Each structure stands twice: as structure tokens, then as C-alpha cells.
Chain A
Amino acid sequence: DGGITQSPKYLFRKEGQNVTLSCEQNLNHDAMYWYRQDPGQGLRLIYYSQIVNDFQKGDIAEGYSVSREKKESFPLTVTSAQKNPTAFYLCASSPRGVADTQYFGPGTRLTVL
């Protein structure tokens, strides 16, 4: 089955540690995205990538980093510089670009203790 996988579903880290969230897609989509969701709020864009080896900052990129070495993979690193990292993180992909329909993974809930 084609789709987007995110792992792990739940992640716990101590304050001050970097942590990397995985996102893989086998839909052959060109574009991939990372969003953050806080309780009772909509989604905010962290980073996006429209092609391999290229990515752009979204609205709340500070304290996060990404890489796009393969078309299928778009890992997100939450660094110690992110002041309030506890949130639900969602990865998405679309066939060509942001104007296309985006399809979402199941999400990773990160809790920083």
C-alpha cells in the first residue's frame, strides 16, 4: 500500500537533547512538508521541500532543521534551541508542489520532559 509513514508514534526526550523524527513516503511525490500542531490549534508549517536536496523555511522554522537527500525521506530534527518542542508533528507530501493536494502521515507526538 502506498502512503506516508512516521516513526515513532510517541517520543519522549529530556530537555536539551536533539531528536530526529522520521518521515518516509512511497507515493513518488516530489514535495514534502513538516507541520506542528498544538492542542486546539490548526497546523503551522515548519519546513517544506519541493525537490531533492532543496528545502525552504516555513512560518516557524526556528529551532528545527531538515534534510532531503532522497525523494522518499524528509527527516525533521528538533534541536535544543526550540523553546517549546512538545507538540504533535505531522509530515505530508504532494505530487508536485504546495498547490497540489497534500496527504498526511499519522503523526509523531513528541514530549520533552
Chain B
Amino acid sequence: KAGVTQTPRYLIKTRGQQVTLSCSPISGHRSVSWYQQTPGQGLQFLFEYFSETQRNKGNFPGRFSGRQFSNSRSEMNVSTLELGDSALYLCASSYIAGESTDTQYFGPGTRLTVL
């Protein structure tokens, strides 16, 4: 079974621009979560989508947004980029069974550099 895929793998943008990152979950997985990883803050939760609905959101400004499509693929968008947005953005998918929180499997990530 193919793993989580993310595109693009690397991205260079300048301050003030916006960026869209894409994530395709493992086949059959319906939940997609996004995380930001930086050397200073570590891995931080951005948001989670399930059935095209954002169920949970982390403590990030409104410049960070996302969506999920009917095929469970997800995109996240960052508008008005700042230097501090340079990070590895990770997507994780999980198969939701009942009320349990199932294991999250991570994609390879998108390395975003803001100049």
C-alpha cells in the first residue's frame, strides 16, 4: 500500500507571497493532519481534517488554512509568508475507527524556505 505523499517536496518563496502544499493520504485513510516542524519549536499541530471538515486547529494565525477534498486529499495554504514560516511541513494520515485515535503515518514533508 502506498504511503502518504506530499508535493512539492521543496519550495522557495519570498516574504509576502502565498503557498499551497498538497497531501495525499494512505488509501482508505480519512483523516489528514498537518504539522509544522522547526528547529526552535519542534513539531507543532496545525489542523486536522476529516470528511472534508476541519475538526481541530492548533495555535497558528489565520494565515494558515487548509481544506480536504472528497477523495480525502488535503491542501494547506499559507498566505502573506513570513521568514518564520520557513519549516518542514508534515502531513499525517490515519484511519479513523470509532472513537479511538488511530496511529498517524507521516508523509515525507515539504521543506519551505521563505527568503
Chains A and B bind each other: no
